[in-house]
């Protein structure tokens, strides 16, 4: 099973709302990633968790707050977002953190619209 | 620093024709290279990857890519296009510095297949 699941599929939120995106994998992977993808652009890395600890933060604004409660679950908490944050948010996982030859397995994404 | 460049943001072929999507890389160390495909409203799926074993890499759905060090290229090919191949294709190189595992994506190539 090489599946990464993400919920919800779609999310519409106002600029004052608080919402969360959820990502789950049961492949025993110990690296998990959040990416942001705008239309017709490649994914941009936001955060990396290695062994449930935040290892990379690509200078993401604090209105995005990641959390890794356990080795299977990754959350992205959203607060006071801006319309330009509307995008497809992708989660990915890989087996061993820090190994450059590892394959990253992507979920289907959450399409976020900020009004 | 490592990078990839995809030549051609849009490629159009007829059904049954050869598919050739171009990717050139820049790396001071032997690279780990990946091709991902993204169908509309979906996440990314790995087609194939090069990790310094065989230079000709076979992937899923009839795709293959050849690593050519002398040309710093990793072009993706498929002998005969199918309508279902229409998608966005991303070439990526894996960072081998202190952010091991971080994927650096090209800008993507949109493949259209005409009947």
CA–CA distance from B4 to each of A99, B22, B32, B75 (Å)? 19, 10, 11, 11
The model's confidence at residue B63, banded by pLDDT at 50, 70 and 90, is very high
A56/B contact by beta carbon, under 8 A: yes
Is B103 in contact with A45 (Cβ distance < 8 A)? yes
**Interface mutation vs chain A, best among B31, B43, B49, B93, most A CBs within 10 Å:** B43
Say if residue A11's pLDDT is above 70.
yes
Sign of the alpha-carbon dihedral angle for B2, B60, A26, A90 = positive
pLDDT per position as a tens digit, A48-67: 999 999 999 999 999 999 99
Whether residue A10 lies within 8 A of chain B, CB to CB, comes out as no
Q: Is the pLDDT of residue A107 over 80?
A: yes
């Amino acid at each position: 099973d090489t599946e990464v699941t993400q919920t919800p599929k779609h999310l519409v939120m106002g600029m004052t709302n608080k919402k969360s995106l959820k990502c789950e994998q049961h492949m025993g992977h110990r690296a998990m990633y959040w990416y942001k993808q705008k239309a017709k652009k490649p994914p941009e890395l936001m955060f990396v968790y290695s062994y449930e600890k935040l290892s990379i933060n690509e200078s993401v604004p604090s209105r995005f707050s990641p959390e890794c409660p356990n080795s299977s679950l990754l959350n992205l908490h959203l607060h006071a977002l801006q319309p330009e944050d509307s995008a497809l948010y992708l989660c990915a996982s890989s087996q061993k953190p820090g190994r450059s030859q590892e394959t990253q397995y992507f979920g289907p994404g959450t399409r976020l619209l900020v009004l | 620093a490592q990078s990839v460049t995809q030549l051609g943001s849009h490629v159009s072929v007829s059904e049954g024709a050869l598919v050739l999507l171009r990717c050139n890389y820049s790396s001071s160390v032997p690279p780990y290279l990946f091709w991902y495909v993204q169908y509309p409203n979906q996440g990314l799926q790995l087609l194939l990857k090069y990790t310094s074993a065989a230079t000709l890499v076979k992937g899923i759905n009839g795709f293959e890519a050849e690593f050519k060090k002398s040309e710093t290229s990793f072009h993706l090919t498929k002998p005969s296009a199918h309508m279902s191949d229409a998608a966005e294709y991303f070439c990526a190189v894996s960072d081998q510095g202190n952010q091991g595992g971080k994927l650096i994506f090209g800008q993507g190539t949109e493949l259209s297949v005409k009947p």
